[in-house]
Structure formats: structure tokens, C-alpha cells
Structure 1
Amino acid sequence: MRVLLVEDDQVLGEALRDHVAAAGHAVDWFKRILDAVAATDTVTYGLILLDLRLPDDEGLTLLRSLRARGDGTPVIILTAHDQISDRIEGLNSGADDYLVKPFDLNELTARMLAVSRRYTGNATPTVKLPGIEIDQVHRKIAVNGDSQSLSAREWAVLDKLAAHPGALVSKAQLHDALYAFGAEIESNTVEVYISRLRKKIGSDRIETVRGLGYCLR
């Protein structure tokens, strides 16, 4: 999925960006609220990781703005402020989870997955379709009982398709899941990873809707 990271600390920001990207997500990292607001006006994100204390404004300003306009994008607050009152304010402002710095990066990954599951309406870490089981924790799939491992980008595409099986996902949405701002986009990237996934899960499981996109059957 496409993740927006709003964090002004250079060292922590780099660590978070690299960790989230290594899990197969496209990451846009900004240090200022103004830039983050502009990004949310341009891109539909699957998740936002939001620091509270930023150079130009409070992180809650962005959060409240999103909720006021009906944007339900999941938000995990990341902050060094561990007062109960801060947590209550963040959650009451519309945050989905709250992590106090310093935190373990693997815990962040688990919380991201948990929040994403709640958002898509799937309470378990395994998506089950006829003949296919998708393990979201370990990024593995079982096709008719046979295990298959996925690369980070194969997983990014399948994760987007599996969020709503049977629903149309446009090529632009898949590009958003694969690429962060500034990344060089190859024209046939989506087709390449769709082809690789078909070899692993069956050519008939991903349908091409010409001119519109793809859907997982």
C-alpha cells in the first residue's frame, strides 16, 4: 500500500522509511505539515504515520482536517509525548492507533497490519478465497495447499487486489501502491507483476478489464 510518513527527525525518518519500504510499501516522507497536506490532496493513501510535533504545525491539524472532510484513511500517531491526555486527544481527534517513541519497528509493522485489517473489514491476518489463502503477516500465499513466496512488489500488487476481491483496481491505483513520489516509473511495471502473480496463483484468478484495470477473482 501507499504510506504517508510525516516525521521531522532525520534519523528516525530514514529508519521508518526504509523499514516500511522493506515491507513492500511505497512511502512518501515529509517533514512539514504543509507538504503532507498537499500530498493528501494528490494521492489516496492506505495508511498515514503521523508525528505530533512538527516544525510548522501540530500533527493533529492534519488529522482533524482529514476527518473533517470525511477522509477515513487510517492514521497511527508516532510521538515522544506519552501523557495520557495526549493519547486521549489523539484518539478523540480520529487516530486509529498511538505509538510512543522509542518503539520497536517490528511492533510498528504489526500495528500497521492490524489497523489495515480493521480498515478493510478483515479482522484476521489471513484472506481466504476459494483455493487460495493469503497470509498478510508473512507475505505468503497457499494455492490449493501449495505455498508460494512473493517478492515485495508482487506482494504490493496482490495486497491491493486482495483488499476487495472482485472489485476493480485501476492501473493508476496499482502504480500508487508501487511507487513513492520521485521514483522512476517504468511503463510496463504493473503488467510485469500481474504476469508474475498469475504464474503463482493461476492465470484465471486475475482478470484484466481492458482500459480500466484488474480484479482478483
Structure 2
Amino acid sequence: MFLLSIFGLFLIGCSPQIKTLANGKQLDTRLAGVWTGSEKDHQIDGLFKSWEMKRMDDGTYTINFKFTQGKMTDSTQEEGEWWTENGKYYEFHDYDGKTDVYSYTFLDPKRVKFKSEKIAIGMENSEYEFIDTKTGNAKKETASKKDGSSYENAIKIGSIPEEYQYVRANCTGCILKSQSLSVNKGRFYDIIMVTKPDGSTKSYYFDITSFYGKGF
């Protein structure tokens, strides 16, 4: 009886738990949370890649990658949206507007195996598979933590007018000095420099990846 109870709990933990968002997309909420994983040689021969994925229960995600190849190391961050449909996992990337598609299988409540069906980047191995392990619950950063003071604290926007609205609301009496486009770790930024009433300057960083180059 005890073994049957344990088996029953396992089945409950591995059964789909669906949440429908306001936009109609569905989430298998078992995938929400903080997940880690790694792989070697799949993307590029000799490349070791590890990651920490934060999937929010509102359908957004942030993933931090670390790459090692020989003595070279690098890191990058991606953001986007995720959802599930008919047993498939969909991952939309803000930086290129493309969506990867995976089939997925829960090995247990804290481990899930993904197998690629459609991915944007080329791979050495056409059958790209990996396992994510859950390490905790994900908490979405509040907008107040993003003050536009650097790339790391850049403010995500959906249009250029939002940049000026933010600057006017947060820098009274400031005058536009310059505006420039910048690319950092695969993401696109508008950097607005203003002159403050006291003569000093201040720069605001805006993340425009979601719409840059898409005709907006």
C-alpha cells in the first residue's frame, strides 16, 4: 500500500497542470520555476554550455548561458516568452523573433527531458536533447529594479515614444544631448544621453530588442 501511495504521488506530480493566459496561450505550470542544465558538443564541437532558466507563470522567461571552449569563456542572457500546446514546449526569443519547438517528458517532478523539433540555430547534433533540473521557484523582477542606468538595468520598452516618456517623467528639465544604438550580448539598446539642469549629463539605457528591425 505504501509503494502504491508513492507511485500515485509520482503520477500526480508528472501529470500536466495547465494554466490558460489572457492571450489564450496555455502553460504546463510544472515547467515554471528555476531550472538548470548543461550540454557539450551539441551546438559546436568542443563547446560546453550551461544555463539557468527562469520560467515565470505569466509566460515569460529569462535564461543565463555560460559558454566554455578551451580557454575561452563567455556568458549571455536571453529573454522571451514560453508556452505549451499538445505536449510541445514553445520558446519565443525576443532578440531574433524566432520560436524553438521541443517535445518534453518529465522523468520525475524535478527533471524534464527536452528533444528539439525545430530550433533557430544550427547544431552539430541534429537530435538535440538535454535535461533540465528544477532548483527552485522563479520570482519575476519588479520594474522598480530597472532604472536604465546600465545594460544590466536597461528598461524594456515596446516603442521609441516610451523612451521619451520615461525620461520626461524621471528627469525634469533635462535636455536631449544624444541618442545612439548599441548592441550588447546579442541584444539591442537605445542609449539616450541628456543634460541635466545643473549641467551634468546622464545616460538612460533602453532595451529595444523586442521590436528593433521589425518595422515598428
Per the normalisation by structure 1, the TM-score is 0.27
Structure with the largest fraction of strand? 2
Per the normalisation by structure 2, the TM-score is 0.27
The higher relative CO (CA closer than 8 Å, separation ≥ 6) is in: 1
Decide which structure has the larger Cα Rg and report it. Answer: 2
Structure with the largest fraction of helix? 1
